[in-house]
């Protein structure tokens, strides 16, 4: 049922926003329909055409809601006249929906919550659990965002050509944040919780199918898939994090990795490099290595150099230093960390990396100080366990 919801919720919301011209109302109707499906389908089975069932139900809910408000007589007529839609009968307006949910006039958390809810069909409690925040917080974010869409007239459409690059960047940033939130999960999750990383991967796949000519979309899709392919090897049976070098590579999803290289092939032929594509190349180089020792570090270093040329940031420099370590040596890598000390002083991975380098350089006392500092700065239980093990 989750898969059906995910496939249909966005289509329904998009179609209803289009016909009603009211984002808030459309979204409420779809949620009503999904709740109704949750009541009926487990008893009666999933209907043969779930999309049409949901659409009919959403429209009926919409009519109920509109009847209560006399101002909407005109809209009501529109809704009643619209033909009963089946999957093929209404156009896929999800692209407009995605761009509306990720409009830059909305705050980042609101963009994420709204995209999960409207495009992927997650319920408010599901979003709250995924982010480990109270349900009321998510509900309030959603209400505020939907009100702003209506009151400030955020348009329901794709941005114009000259705005497209910037706005697509905004959408990708939302999906990237969603993925990281799931992938670096900072707390325990129940078996029934929706995995944000997989939701983000599904969404970027949807985006790639709707915008096949955008290499950065494919880049982000490949980046997410290379990481997901290694997901099973990232934790041991006790839930402890296993670093890349120590992972059992037999547990990697080889088929997913191979499929993802086909995506890499597609964006490479477009010859329009961008930050997500370069990060995908780096993740791909790791996924491709049969052993840690076989990692093609010079390729990785080259990708980091290209990444720096596109967008210089201390985090990229920190990651690049690891590639420098394995290509040139620990001493050179340590030298390159120095200028980052001030900007990254509050970033735990800066100190964790410094600790590793100091240990490689035979300076164990300083390494322990660095690890201790890293431990102070992270709340993530898996990372804390790893650092504590290192400190002995």
Partner 1 sequence: MTQYVLMFVGSDEWRETSSKEEIARGYAAIGKWWDELSANGVLKGGEELAKGPGTATTVRRVNGQMKVFDGPFIESKEQVGGFAMIEAPDLDEAIAIAKSWPGGDVEVRPIVVH
Q: Give me the residues that bind partner 1 (CB under 8 A), please.
A: 103, 105, 151-155, 159-160, 163
Give the phi and the psi of residue 360 in degrees, each rounded to 5.
-65, -30
If the CB atoms of residues 160 and 312 are measured against partner 1, the closer one turns out to be 160
Q: Report the C-alpha gap between 215 and 82 in whole angstroms.
A: 37
- Show the tokens assigned to 351: 């100190």
Q: How far is the CB of 14 from partner 1 (least distance, A)?
A: 17
Any residues with CB less than 8 A from the CB of 264 and at least 6 apart, and which? 218, 222, 280, 281, 284
Q: How far is the CB of 152 from partner 1 (least distance, A)?
A: 5
Q: Report the C-alpha gap between 269 and 331 in whole angstroms.
A: 37
If the CB atoms of residues 53 and 99 are measured against partner 1, the closer one turns out to be 99
If the CB atoms of residues 154 and 196 are measured against partner 1, the closer one turns out to be 154
If the CB atoms of residues 27 and 383 are measured against partner 1, the closer one turns out to be 27
If the CB atoms of residues 160 and 379 are measured against partner 1, the closer one turns out to be 160
Q: How far is the CB of 200 from partner 1 (least distance, A)?
A: 26
Could you tell me how far CA 243 lies from the centroid of its own chain? 22
Q: At what angle do helices 135-151 and 124-131 cross, to 10 degrees?
A: 120
Q: Report the C-alpha gap between 219 and 266 in whole angstroms.
A: 9
Q: How far is the CB of 362 from partner 1 (least distance, A)?
A: 52
Q: How far is the CB of 114 from partner 1 (least distance, A)?
A: 15
* Helices and strands: H and E segment counts in the chain: 19, 0
Q: How far is the CB of 109 from partner 1 (least distance, A)?
A: 19
The conformation of residue 378, written as its DSSP 8-state character, comes to: -
First-last CA distance in the chain: 46
Q: Report the C-alpha gap between 20 and 4 in whole angstroms.
A: 23
Q: How far is the CB of 159 from partner 1 (least distance, A)?
A: 7
If the CB atoms of residues 151 and 365 are measured against partner 1, the closer one turns out to be 151
If the CB atoms of residues 2 and 152 are measured against partner 1, the closer one turns out to be 152
């Amino acid at each position: 049922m989750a898969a059906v919801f995910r496939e249909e919720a966005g289509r329904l919301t998009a179609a209803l926003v289009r016909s009603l011209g009211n984002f808030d109302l459309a979204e409420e109707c779809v949620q009503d329909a999904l709740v109704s499906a949750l009541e009926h389908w487990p008893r009666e089975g999933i209907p043969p055409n779930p999309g049409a069932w949901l659409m009919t139900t959403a429209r009926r809910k919409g009519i109920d809601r509109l009847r209560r408000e006399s101002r909407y007589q005109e809209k009501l007529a529109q809704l009643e006249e619209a033909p009963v839609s089946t999957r093929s009968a209404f156009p896929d307006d999800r692209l407009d929906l995605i761009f509306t949910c990720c409009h830059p006039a909305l705050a980042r958390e609101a963009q994420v919550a709204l995209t999960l809810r409207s495009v992927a069909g997650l319920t408010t409690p599901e979003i709250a659990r995924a982010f480990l925040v109270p349900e009321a917080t998510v509900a309030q974010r959603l209400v505020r965002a939907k009100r702003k869409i209506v009151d400030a007239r955020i348009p329901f459409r794709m941005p114009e050509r000259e705005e497209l690059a910037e706005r697509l960047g905004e959408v990708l940033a939302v999906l990237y944040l969603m993925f990281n939130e799931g992938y670096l999960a900072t707390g325990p999750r129940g078996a029934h919780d929706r995995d944000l990383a997989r939701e983000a991967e599904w969404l970027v796949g949807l985006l790639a199918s709707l915008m096949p000519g955008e290499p950065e979309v494919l880049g982000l899709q490949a980046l997410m898939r290379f990481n997901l392919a290694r997901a099973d090897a990232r934790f041991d049976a006790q839930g402890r994090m296993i670093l890349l070098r120590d992972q059992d590579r037999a547990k990697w999803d080889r088929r997913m990795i191979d499929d993802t290289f086909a995506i890499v092939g597609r964006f490479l032929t477009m010859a329009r490099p961008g930050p997500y594509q370069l990060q995908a190349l780096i993740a791909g180089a790791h996924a491709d290595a049969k052993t840690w020792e076989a990692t093609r570090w010079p390729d990785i270093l080259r990708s980091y150099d290209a990444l720096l040329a596109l967008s210089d940031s201390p985090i990229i420099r920190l990651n690049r230093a690891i590639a420098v370590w394995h290509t040139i040596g620990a001493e050179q890598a340590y030298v390159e960390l120095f200028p980052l000390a001030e900007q990254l002083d509050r970033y735990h991975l800066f100190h964790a990396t410094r600790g590793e380098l100091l240990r490689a350089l035979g300076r164990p006392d300083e390494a322990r100080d660095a690890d201790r500092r890293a431990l102070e700065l992270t709340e993530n239980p898996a990372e804390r366990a790893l650092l504590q093990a290192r400190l002995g």
